[in-house]
């Protein structure tokens, strides 16, 4: 948008010339150009493009586990195309679970499959608990997320919110244990939030 406006010019050409009186017309026309800008990322210190992260719009990695025995464990996500979650740049995670057998379930954050690399390292210890600092002081290393008893209602999506504990974690999976007292079929889905 192009627009002209008048601004006061206290240091006009006459004052530069040594004239101490303010000219009758001490205002000048100034053209102003206003352009909208959108930041979609930056070129980082390595010279690589790094886009701005945005939250997921929908749940992804929807995995269906059929007839898991009482006491049985599963890993999610485990689809043909998504076998782990990359939380790089994300702070919060929603985990959604829908089961046909209400009751107790155990939820644990674990290292993803050894068929994938953690940055440039391979192999990893698949299915092992993710460990790190989680207290305010940051000097205690322990399992990042082990929820021994999560009571789920049958035939509805239960959505659990996990803040900051798993921020920036790579190669993340969830080990879910059916402790409902009977065989259960359940679905698990994920959504990352910046």
**What are the residue ranges of helices labelled H in the chain?**
13-16
Q: Give the closest residue to 192 by CA, choosing from 141, 170, 13.
A: 170
Q: What is the pLDDT of residue 16?
A: 54
The per-residue pLDDT for 14 is: 56
pLDDT at residue 50 in the model: 85
Residue 6 pLDDT > 80? no
C-alpha neighbours within 13 Å on the C-beta side of residue 149: 2
Q: Does the structure show a pLDDT above 90 at 122?
A: yes
Enter the CATH code of domain 51-193: 2.60.120.380
What pLDDT is recorded for position 52? 87
Q: Which residue has the tokens 């889905």?
A: 189
**pLDDT tens digits along 33-61:** 777 888 888 898 889 988 889 999 999 99
The CA R_g of the chain, rounded to the nearest whole Å, is: 29
pLDDT value of position 39: 83
**pLDDT value at residue 73:** 97
Report CA-CA distances (Å) from 9 to 6, 18, 23, 138.
9, 15, 10, 57
Q: What values do phi and psi take at 150, rounded to 5? A: -120, 115
**Residue-range domain boundaries for the chain:** 2-33, 51-193
Q: How far is CA 189 from the centre of its chain?
A: 15
Residue pLDDT, tens place only, 169-192: 999 999 999 999 999 999 999 999
pLDDT digits (tens, 9 = 90+) for 124-167: 999 999 999 877 776 788 999 999 999 999 999 999 999 999 99
Q: For residues 30 and 88, which has the higher predicted lDDT (pLDDT)? A: 88
Residue-wise pLDDT for 54-104, tens only, equals 999 999 999 999 999 999 999 999 999 999 999 999 999 999 999 999 999
pLDDT level of residue 106 (50, 70, 90 thresholds): very high
């Amino acid at each position: 948008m192009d627009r002209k406006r008048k601004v006061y010019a206290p240091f006009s050409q006459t004052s530069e010339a040594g004239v101490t009186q303010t000219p009758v017309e001490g205002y000048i026309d100034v053209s102003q150009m206003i352009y909208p800008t959108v930041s979609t990322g930056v070129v980082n210190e390595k010279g690589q493009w790094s886009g701005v992260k945005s939250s997921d719009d929908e749940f992804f990695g929807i995995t269906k586990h059929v007839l898991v025995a009482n006491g049985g464990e599963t890993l999610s996500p485990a689809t043909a195309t998504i076998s782990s979650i990359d939380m790089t740049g994300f702070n919060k995670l929603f985990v959604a679970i829908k089961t046909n057998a209400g009751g107790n379930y155990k939820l644990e954050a674990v290292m993803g499959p050894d068929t994938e690399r953690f940055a440039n390292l391979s192999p990893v210890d698949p299915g092992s608990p993710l460990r790190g600092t989680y207290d305010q002081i940051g000097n205690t290393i322990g399992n990042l997320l082990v929820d021994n008893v999560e009571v789920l209602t049958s035939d509805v999506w239960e959505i659990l919110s996990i803040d900051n504990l798993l921020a920036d974690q790579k190669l993340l999976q969830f080990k879910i244990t059916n402790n409902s007292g009977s065989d259960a079929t359940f679905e698990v889905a994920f959504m990352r939030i910046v």
